[in-house]
Amino acid sequence: MKINENYSNLEESYLFSTIAKKVNEYSEKNPDKKIIRLGIGDVSLPLCKAVINALHSAVDEMGVKETFRGYGPEQGYEFLRESIRDYYLTHNVKLDTKEIFVSDGAKSDLGNILELFDNSTVALMPDPIYPAYVDANLMGGRPVLFMDANKENNFLPLPNKNVKADLIYICSPNNPTGAVYNREQLKQWVDYANSINALIIFDAAYEVFISDENLPKSIYEIEGARNCAIEICSFSKTAGFTGTRCGYTIIPNDIINGRLNRMWVRRQTTKYNGVPYIVQRAAQAVFTPEGFSEIQENIRYYRENAEIMAKTFDDLGIWYTGGKHSPYIWLECPNGQKSWEFFDYLLNNLQIVGTPGSGFGKNGEGYLRITSFGNRENTIEAMERLREANKILHV
């Protein structure tokens, strides 16, 4: 037996596992303290009524011989792929259902998609970055290059013609910074990718939070993107499916004459049996008029949480980005504190949990990510604790 030694190139533990360990240790020593978790980007609102009704109906179908479903198509049922296709039409993006592949979530596909590429493939991604992008490449022994995302460029780096790569990772709205690319900026990336024969892996998991019609929700709104981009999206944050699990990947037939699309079909039919029928019916309900209206109510709730937090940081003079078109706020740690130093201060003194920016890369040092996915009462209470602490510090 010979193990994959590339795993030794990974951090000893995943960022969020380290956070959970610290929080659990504090909680055990201080059982009387109320901890407010604004770190991990998990949703707090339940599934909407339209989704629940669709789940119930699908479960009932599974209990009747005439409507029972066994193995489904690995690429996803046509009814859901058609709903996704029609949703993209609202962004003036035309897709063929054969270009849409239903999955159990964006995280799985972000890792699995690398099976289509040689291990020598060079990946280019911003720093700071969602750790799973980096780790998935390191596990396969692929070289990773980083481009600086920082305060000076508003955490939205643009192409450097002197840097060459095969895969380019773009997440917009970004995790962890909440920054959003505009059309002109994305066009630069598309033109760059086409000019060097590279592929963009575009993570659109948070597109539903974009409220400005002038900002693109899909990479395919940009001319030339169908030739050089795969888009991966999820229902986790869109409709609260973090525990239900459903997402999708789009691989246009324009990319190397449809070869990547055919390879993904072959990969999925070999290694994947598809998302459960009842979950796909639930996902389809998201795109119905009542379903979309209900999830928009949930999105508004999270946006209002972000506004509450942003107002607090404005009042306290803390620099931040994100929040307006994203569930994440990326704030600069006060008084020059390091990321884990500020994390420990918030946990030990205010019982607030954020995510240290340094866990997302070297350029994340000195920053902290917090999410608007908490409930309203806890969000307000956390901000009140910050305001009170600020008063005490400045007495």
Q: Return the domain boundaries, the chain.
A: 13-42+292-393, 49-290
Q: What is the mean pLDDT of the chain?
A: 96
Band of residue 391 on the pLDDT scale cut at 50, 70, 90? confident
Q: Per the CATH hierarchy, to which homologous superfamily does domain 13-42+292-393 belong? A: Aspartate Aminotransferase, domain 1 (3.90.1150.10)
Tens-digit pLDDT profile for residues 230-250: 999 999 999 999 999 999 999
For position 395, what pLDDT does the model report?
37
Does the structure show a pLDDT above 90 at 40? no
For the 49-290 domain, the top CATH level (class) is alpha beta
Band of residue 60 on the pLDDT scale cut at 50, 70, 90? very high
pLDDT over 70 percentage in the chain: 99
Single pTM value for the model: 0.95
Q: Which amino acid is at 298?
A: N
Band of residue 394 on the pLDDT scale cut at 50, 70, 90? low
195-202 average pLDDT score: 98
Band of residue 14 on the pLDDT scale cut at 50, 70, 90? confident
Q: Can you tell me the distance from the alpha carbon of 93 to that of 219, in angstroms, rounded to the nearest whole number?
A: 9
In sequence order, which residues have a C-beta less than 8 Å from that of residue 270 and are 6 or more positions away? Answer: none
The number of residues making up the chain comes to 395
Contact 4, 135 (CB under 8 A): no
- Using left for φ > 0, alpha for ψ between -120 and 50, and beta otherwise, residue 307 falls in alpha
Tens-digit pLDDT profile for residues 241-299: 999 999 999 999 999 999 999 999 999 999 999 999 999 999 999 999 999 999 999 99
Contact 206, 326 (CB under 8 A): yes
